[in-house]
């Protein structure tokens, strides 16, 4: 390469890095906490901004994952040594894993429906084009629907699947199920799984899937945080929040100011808002916003759910997130002794346990079930809790999909179809038991 080309290349590279967040050389570590004193030490590590944690909250029986930049690596290792903490290396180069997730190699499974497939992760335009295609191909069953606009003015688009549109069975007060995908934008397996469910509802010949598809009027939104989702493709793969510019400020040293550009939508709903597991600092990943429902995305979801509650019997609300393989039952701010606050907790728990068993049957994938405070961490202001709280939908869950943390948000594309298949097993089982318990 001659020197002019080399300078040209350098210019491109420096321009690119000025726009995009690059995770070259970042390492991902897992730390298993042995006791409460180690929990304190991790809080200190977070405070010192030596690494970026992938989850919020630390607890003794849970692994924590922390991502460390090449610049901070030496300091990180020194910190571990001083504090006598053990960490194991999960990913040697986070950017390499991101690149691999975007451009998977050697996936044998061939699976596609119209212009969409489940052998790779797809961006928002590809998704929205596909939803339009579905409407065109299933004019009597599928209608696209826009529940509102995001901060940056993008449509929050989904579809309604209704097999009783034009026949005598048409019901003025239908049974309804709603699926919410990708409130947190970096959790890409959520889009992939929700789109798979749509595909199965429209094309599967399995009688159990047909029953589930045709018993309910389904309102399905694969991406309810479109700005954040686009941002994970264009700028920062690890972006979680929406892109609200209202509260941008200068963040502490070691934290990019861009971090303050956004609200955690799953802390912004008006249910015990800012009570626990949420932050009032816009430089954090769990920033709850200045007031409940400050964000157009959360308001759009709430208005849509209330409307569904008026036009029919909303039986299911399921929010798909990742990762850690959990089925969370409302409410997330209470521990088990106060589980009764969501009136039919025991039924929701029992149904979820049976779903988890059904999920495990296919590949042995283990899901845990319970209150967020007990199986993960306490939090408040989440959408699925709000749906339970405000319209008392009988069955409301937040499902944390694969994996347990080996790849976390960077789950390889060859796990999309297995994840989707076992999740569908879980939904079928959920519906059997919900019906058996006379919820409809
Ligand atoms: Zn999430």
What's the CA-to-centroid distance between 382 and ligand 1, angstroms? 10
In whole numbers, what is the pLDDT of the chain averaged over residues? 92
As a whole number of Å, the end-to-end CA separation of the chain is: 70
pLDDT at 106: 61
**Burial (CB count <10 Å: 0-12, 13-18, 19+), residue 171:** exposed
What's the CA-to-centroid distance between 55 and ligand 1, angstroms? 9
What's the CA-to-centroid distance between 102 and ligand 1, angstroms? 20
pLDDT at 15: 45
Query: Is 258 a residue whose pLDDT tops 50?
Result: yes
**Burial (CB count <10 Å: 0-12, 13-18, 19+), residue 127:** buried
Query: Which neighbouring-strand residues pair with 395?
Result: 316
pLDDT at 62: 78
Q: What are phi and psi of 418, to 5 degrees?
A: -55, -40
Q: Which of 56-60, 421-425, 433-437 has the lowest mean pLDDT?
A: 56-60
pLDDT digits (tens, 9 = 90+) for 130-145: 999 999 999 999 999 9
Q: How many CA atoms lie within 13 A of 39 on its CB side?
A: 9
pLDDT at 345: 97
Percent of the chain with pLDDT over 90: 78
pLDDT at 14: 44
What's the CA-to-centroid distance between 187 and ligand 1, angstroms? 6
Percent of the chain with pLDDT over 70: 93
What are the domain boundaries of the chain? Answer: 21-102, 112-230+292-436
In the predicted model, what is the mean pLDDT of residues 310-332? 97
What's the CA-to-centroid distance between 90 and ligand 1, angstroms? 21
Q: How many CA atoms lie within 13 A of 205 on its CB side?
A: 0
Beta strands in 191-349 (DSSP E): 217-221, 313-322, 326-329
Q: Which of 24-38, 50-64, 225-239, 362-376 has the lowest mean pLDDT?
A: 50-64
What's the CA-to-centroid distance between 322 and ligand 1, angstroms? 6
Ion ligand 1: residues, CB within 5 A, are 184, 321
CA 264 to CA 282: how far, in whole Å? 9
Query: Is 383 a residue whose pLDDT tops 50?
Result: yes
pLDDT at 18: 42
Query: Is 9 a residue whose pLDDT tops 70?
Result: no
- Angle at CA of residue 365, ends 39 and 344, nearest 5°: 75
Query: Is 19 a residue whose pLDDT tops 80?
Result: no
What's the CA-to-centroid distance between 229 and ligand 1, angstroms? 12
Say whether 112-230+292-436 and 21-102 share the same fold: no
The DSSP symbol for 384 reads H
Q: Is 270 designated active site? A: no
Report the candidate in 276, 223, 284 with the shortest Cα–Cα distance to residue 251. 284
pLDDT at 26: 94
pLDDT digits (tens, 9 = 90+) for 110-133: 689 999 999 999 999 999 999 999
pLDDT at 348: 98
Q: CA quadruple 384, 385, 386, 392: dihedral positive or negative?
A: positive
| Most confident listed range (6-15, 37-46, 82-91) | 82-91
CA 71 to CA 173: how far, in whole Å? 59
Report the candidate in 63, 75, 49 with the shortest Cα–Cα distance to residue 281. 49
Query: Is 414 a residue whose pLDDT tops 80?
Result: yes
pLDDT at 171: 63
Choose, from 38, 52, 217, 400, the residue flagged as catalytic: 400
Determine how many CB atoms are found less than 10 A away from the CB of residue 44: 12
What's the CA-to-centroid distance between 26 and ligand 1, angstroms? 22
What's the CA-to-centroid distance between 172 and ligand 1, angstroms? 35
pLDDT at 42: 85
- Please tell me the CATH superfamily of domain 112-230+292-436, with its number: Zn peptidases (3.40.630.10)
CATH class of 21-102: alpha beta
39 versus 315: the higher-pLDDT residue is: 315
pLDDT at 47: 84
Q: Which of 42-46, 144-148, 166-170, 238-242 has the lowest mean pLDDT?
A: 166-170
CA 269 to CA 302: how far, in whole Å? 8
279 versus 35: the higher-pLDDT residue is: 279
DSSP SS3 for 240: coil
Query: Is 337 a residue whose pLDDT tops 90?
Result: yes
Per-residue confidence band for 41, with pLDDT thresholds at 50, 70 and 90: confident
What's the CA-to-centroid distance between 367 and ligand 1, angstroms? 16
What's the CA-to-centroid distance between 2 and ligand 1, angstroms? 47
């Amino acid at each position: 390469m001659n020197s002019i080309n080399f300078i040209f290349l350098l210019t491109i590279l420096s321009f690119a890095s000025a726009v995009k967040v690059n995770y070259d050389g970042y390492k991902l570590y897992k730390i298993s906490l042995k006791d409460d004193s180690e929990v304190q030490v991790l809080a200190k590590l977070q405070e010192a901004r030596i690494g970026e944690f992938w989850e919020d909250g630390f607890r003794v029986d849970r692994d924590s994952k922390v991502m460390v930049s090449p610049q901070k690596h030496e300091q990180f290792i020194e910190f571990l040594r001083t504090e006598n903490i053990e960490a194991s290396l999960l990913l040697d180069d986070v950017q390499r894993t991101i690149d691999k997730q975007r451009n998977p190699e050697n996936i044998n499974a061939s699976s596609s429906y119209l212009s969409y497939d489940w052998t790779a992760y797809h961006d928002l335009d590809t998704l929205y084009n596909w939803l339009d295609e579905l409407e065109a191909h299933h004019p009597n069953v599928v209608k696209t629907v826009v529940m509102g606009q995001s901060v940056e003015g993008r449509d929050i688009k989904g579809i309604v699947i209704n097999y009783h549109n034009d026949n005598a069975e048409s019901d003025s007060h239908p049974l309804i199920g709603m699926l919410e995908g990708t409130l947190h934008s970096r959790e890409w397996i959520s889009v992939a799984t929700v789109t798979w469910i749509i595909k199965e509802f429209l094309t599967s010949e399995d009688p159990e899937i047909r029953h589930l598809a045709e018993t309910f009027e389904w309102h399905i939104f694969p991406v309810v945080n479109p700005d954040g989702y686009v941002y994970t493709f264009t700028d920062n793969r690890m972006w979680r929040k929406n892109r609200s510019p209202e509260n941008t400020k200068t963040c502490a040293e070691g934290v990019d100011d861009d971090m303050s550009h956004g609200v955690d939508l799953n802390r912004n709903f008006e249910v015990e808002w800012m009570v626990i597991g949420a932050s009032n600092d816009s430089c954090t990943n769990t920033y709850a916003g200045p007031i409940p429902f400050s964000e157009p995305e959360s308001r759009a979801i709430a208005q849509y759910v209330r409307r569904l509650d008026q036009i029919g019997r909303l039986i299911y609300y399921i929010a798909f997130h990742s990762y850690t393989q959990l089925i969370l039952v409302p409410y997330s701010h209470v521990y088990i002794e106060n589980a009764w606050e969501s009136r039919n907790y025991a039924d929701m728990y029992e149904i979820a346990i049976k779903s988890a068993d059904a999920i495990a049957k296919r590949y042995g994938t283990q899901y845990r079930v319970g209150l967020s405070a007990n199986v993960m961490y306490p939090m408040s202001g989440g959408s699925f809790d709000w749906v339970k709280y405000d319209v008392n939908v009988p069955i409301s869950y937040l499902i944390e999909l694969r994996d347990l943390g080996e790849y976390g948000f960077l789950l390889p594309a060859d796990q999309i179809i297995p994840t989707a298949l076992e999740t569908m097993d879980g939904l079928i089982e959920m519906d059997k038991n919900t019906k058996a318990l006379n919820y409809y």
